[in-house]
Structure 1
């Protein structure tokens, strides 16, 4: 056999191996396209996030947005506590490539006092200390719910779940997987909140029988805003459901949940409320030095033109 024929045989064998490897490696792609189990429907998650101007705002929103980029079928509704939409938030949303709705509404203050109106801040006594506790994000969340109802009323697919998200919390991707299971109202534990390592519903025989909460345990639903999600269509069934300035801080969760459920109807998720997939973290307020007060020989170059 000539050298040329041997060379052709090796070449043919090499091409055959290449084709087999190519088909083998691309097989999962075809499975992904045609396997009905892998292409199952994922309900839309509507994440509602109030936000306000502060030095760490962009840092918090950047961290959160990069988590949300990994969540499939997610719609971010972000509402600024502002008279108008800011360039900082608008630019961040455009660059995120997320599906989003950008809204704004300013929290209104009383015209007659430097303090917020009595309906905004409710005087409370906690043990031996007295202070004003102001509920935040009320107008912003209600504005988002108004948008949501208008959107769902005309949407072909009304299925989905609503999740109220603080912009400085920490979220595992697993919490989004859990909330897609919600039929009416689903609940799960929240870490580092209410003076506890974990605040959580107590589950007995697969049902919520109580709550492990230290801060204001007498609340109808002693649970953090990050610890539940609601079926989106229920907001169409209950157009009156909204947050209120007439309830004290810590009762906003109970205020919204009372429209949809009772304790024994809650759906315990996250392995019967034994796994923590969200943490009530808070960004420490930055301490920025004032160069004018330092009387430096060579003060820093002005940086007001740089978005931080």
Structure 2
């Protein structure tokens, strides 16, 4: 009995070795996810929970667009199995604001309050709950020095947009492709960049602008000390792979509400 048991354990260890390698790689990635109540919220968060567990060594910062935190969401995060921080920050109802801005800023405040004096190493990434992420994306960003970027699929009526590198030098960005305002200093989607935690701590007043539509990425990167997108490191095999897609789920038209017997309904 002992020999078959040992063989089974050996096969399990061999099979899980790649995952263990992911889980124990450093630095930690602090994934900031704004979210809001809607019928699609739970399935979107389940998908993201799954890929973040596969990526490993992630601290998930989930910020609700709400005055107070939803207990059902807290229970979901408990069950997800990741180290997490659950916050809430409402979007102002009085004038037009960019959705997600207050929530991302709340997460930045938490990071600075938690790690300003600790010397914690890490990477900060803004991951919306409705995008689609390949686990390899997180390994790509772990090695960045100050900031990095990569292409994003299915965005702005195009099949992709983002950085381009020269075949003779894949370590530097030579151009950007986008079909929306290509002359921007940072023609980059929110899902297409990450920065070192030390950069976030180095610029304690750098926050998102809650009124400027369509330029949030460039504004925060400027405030974090980057002059333009060419200063970012190209990732994803020299900007030749799509590892994140700007997907949008169809809004579920819920017209009938069932009895309140489901514990994890958000």
Q: Same fold by TM-score, threshold 0.5 exceeded?
A: yes
Compared CA separation, residues 38 and 196, structure 1 to 2 (3 A): closer
Task: Please tell me whether Structure 1 or Structure 2 has the larger radius of gyration of its CA atoms.
Answer: 1
Q: Give the number of the structure with larger relative contact order, counting CA–CA contacts within 8 Å between residues 6 or more apart.
A: 2
- Long gaps (5+) in structure 2: none
Q: CA deviation at 1:244?
A: 0.6
Correspondence for 1:256 among 207, 220, 223: 220
Question: Could you tell me how far 1:27 is from its partner in structure 2?
Answer: 11
CA spacing shift, 1:266–1:286, aligned 2, 3 Å: same
Task: Give the drift of 1:304.
Answer: 4.3
The residue aligned with 2:209 is 244
CA distance 1:85–1:274, change in 2 (3 Å): same
* Residues 34 and 100, structure 2, Cα contact 8 Å, conserved in 1: yes
Distance in 2 between residues matched to 1:92 and 1:41, nearest whole Å: 25
Shift of 1:178: 0.3
Structure 1: distance between partners of 2:55 and 2:22: 16
Deviations 1:204-232 (A, max 9, x none): 33311221000222322111101011001
User: Is the 2:22–2:56 contact (alpha carbons within 8 Å) kept by the matching residues of 1?
Assistant: no
Alpha-carbon displacement from aligned partner over 1:168-219 (angstroms, at most 9, x marks no partner): 1100001001000110111111100111101121223331122100022232
**TM-score of the two chains, using structure 1 as the length reference:** 0.75
Aligned to 2:237, what secondary structure does the other structure show? helix
The alignment covers a number of residue pairs equal to 255
Question: Scaled by the length of structure 2, what TM-score is found?
Answer: 0.86
| Corresponding residue SS for 1:88 | helix
Aligned-partner Cα distance in 1 for 2:131–2:232 = 23
Matches within 5 A, 1:1-308: 18=3, 22=6, 26=10, 41-110=25-94, 116-117=95-96, 120=97, 135-155=98-118, 157-204=119-166, 205-206=169-170, 207-247=172-212, 249-258=213-222, 259-261=224-226, 262-289=228-255, 302-306=258-262, 307=265
Unaligned segments of structure 1, at least 5 residues: 1-14, 111-115, 121-134, 291-300
C-alpha distance in structure 1 between counterparts of 2:24 and 2:76, whole Å:
31
2:137 counterpart SS class? helix
| Distance (Å, rounded) in 2 between the aligned partners of 1:170 and 1:38 | 19
- Spell out structure 1 runs of 4+ moving beyond 3 A: 25-30, 37-41
8 A contact 1:76–1:101 mirrored in 2 = yes
Q: Deviation per CA, 1:92-137: give whole Å up to 9, x if none.
A: 1011111000000111122xxxxx25xx3xxxxxxxxxxxxxx211
Mapped to 2, the partners of 1:49 and 1:211 lie a distance apart of 26
Instruction: Provide the C-alpha distance between the structure 2 equivalents of 1:278 and 1:38, rounded to a whole number of angstroms.
Output: 18
Q: Alpha-carbon deviation of 1:260? A: 2.9
Q: 1:96 to 1:214 in 2, by over 3 A?
A: same
